[in-house]
Amino acid sequence: MYGKNAWLKYGSDTKVIMDFAEGYKDFITTAKTERLAVREAVKILDAKGFKNADSVKSVKEGDKVYFINKNKNICAFVVGKKPLEDGLRILGAHIDSPRLDFKEHPLYENKGFAYADTHYYGGVKKYQWVTIPLALHGVICKKDGTKVEVNIGEDPKDPVVGISDLLIHLSADQMALPLAKAITGENLDVTLGSIPVDDKEKEAVKANVLKLLKEKYDVEEEDFISAEIEVVPAGPARDYGLDRSMVAGYGHDDRCCAYTSLMALADMDKAEYTACCILVDKEEIGSVGATGAQSLFFENTIAKLGGLMGVGHPVWLARMAMENSKMLSSDVAAGYDPLYASVGDPKNVAYLGNGLNFNKYTGSRGKSGSNDANPEYYAFVRRTLDEANINWQSSELGKVDQGGGGTIAYILGNYNMNVIDAGIAVLNMHAPMEIISKVDLYEAYLGYKAFLVSKD
């Protein structure tokens, strides 16, 4: 089923695709940050009989467990029949998405408006983030150890916030600038309010915003120093297109692959090789830090799993297990956009509707920084998909020297495991409203499922 439109396989019988997309729309509507994605993942896993590893003393074949890392990274397993050192079948996706983060000292007032100053996270085209309704999500951690959760702008009764742009009437100078310069990162400041408190002369509007925050969350201005407030597009994911064939939403990159990978694992009955789904943070800024793919968390977790299985040398065994593993790096691909056809090589692009997409390599300037999957392994993956009747395709990220990008594939490749990028084609990648095809979402889910139970 290589390179064929997957809708044709289903004909008029698309209910299963549409139903699956409903669950996904609920997921990304709620899971707008990595923390919220972990929370939703736990709900899905708990409902399918998985247990938090903190609550178990040992595990054996058939058991289903998950490990949570600092509320922003999660790793779930279905323990297989074969010994752990024979390797795992791993699906890895990221749950962070481009957005705007509050600075440590975000709040200020200027000429009657209270603002929050932000620093963008990940690759954003800044002009896309002005004049759209935005929501605030995150946590404020207070000195006394308590943590307050912020969620403003999703409930239809909530206010939204946003970033202003210049009226067209006075934009002669701005309109002459290149897109990269017309809106600056330092000007991505979120409007928070405009009513002054009457008993203050200086920064009276900001004082009023702080008063509201104090009433709602019992926080002081200084508490924003130890906070993680993410500014994201407000509102739910929606059907896109008159035929409802696509989903418009924020954060498809990479929560569409995270959801399908997680569901593929959650829906497993039993595993031959121990099956794993890891959802990581920080991919959009280089997979760094404690909750990113470069963290020792994953390796430590496999050692901990070995410990719970009662093996002799779990750390050594974890290394063997990783080296013998097979992995799909579940991350999105650049969908072919006929309106911007010139950036791709037409023989090597990913089409919306043609199913699960593989990138043998990513990178830029001569594949630099890329995991370049071994053809021996790619042949195994092709066979697995074809035997399961999955629609799939292969592409690369734009034509040579057009740009480029990366995924977490090379990081797991460092453990000497076989890895290839496999994900869903996205239009408008990194925009506040990204687009995917529902049939690609479903084929990805089926493809990931087939991979998890694949034989050698």
Contact set with Mn ion (CB under 5 A): 253-254, 331
Shortest reach from residue 118's CB to Mn ion, in Å: 19
Shortest reach from residue 400's CB to Mn ion, in Å: 21
The C-alpha atoms of residue 98 and residue 125 are separated, in whole angstroms, by: 10
Shortest reach from residue 331's CB to Mn ion, in Å: 4
Quick one: 40 or 253, whose CB is closer to Mn ion? 253
The two three-digit tokens of residue 121, written as one number: 């996270």
Quick one: 40 or 331, whose CB is closer to Mn ion? 331
Quick one: 245 or 330, whose CB is closer to Mn ion? 330
Quick one: 281 or 331, whose CB is closer to Mn ion? 331
Q: Which amino acid is at 289?
A: G
Shortest reach from residue 442's CB to Mn ion, in Å: 20
Report helix, strand or coil for 58.
Answer: coil
Give residue number: closest CB to Mn ion.
Answer: 254
User: Could you tell me which residues are beta bridge partners of residue 138?
Assistant: 150, 229
User: Could you tell me which residues are beta bridge partners of residue 277?
Assistant: 76, 91
Q: In what order do the strands lie in the sheet with 274-280?
A: 51-52, 64-69, 73-78, 274-280, 88-94, 326-329, 418-423, 356-359, 392-394
Quick one: 85 or 254, whose CB is closer to Mn ion? 254
Quick one: 268 or 373, whose CB is closer to Mn ion? 373
Quick one: 254 or 443, whose CB is closer to Mn ion? 254
The answer to whether 224 and 105 are in contact (CB under 8 A) is: yes
Q: Which amino acid is at 208?
A: N
Shortest reach from residue 92's CB to Mn ion, in Å: 11
Shortest reach from residue 94's CB to Mn ion, in Å: 6
Q: Which long-range contacts (CB under 8 A, 24 or more apart) does 314-319 make?
A: 317/84, 317/85, 318/84, 319/415
The answer to whether 417 and 87 are in contact (CB under 8 A) is: yes
> Residues in the chain, how many?
456
Shortest reach from residue 392's CB to Mn ion, in Å: 18
* Distances, alpha carbon 422 to alpha carbons 204, 334, 395, in Å: 52, 12, 10
The two three-digit tokens of residue 283, written as one number: 């991919």
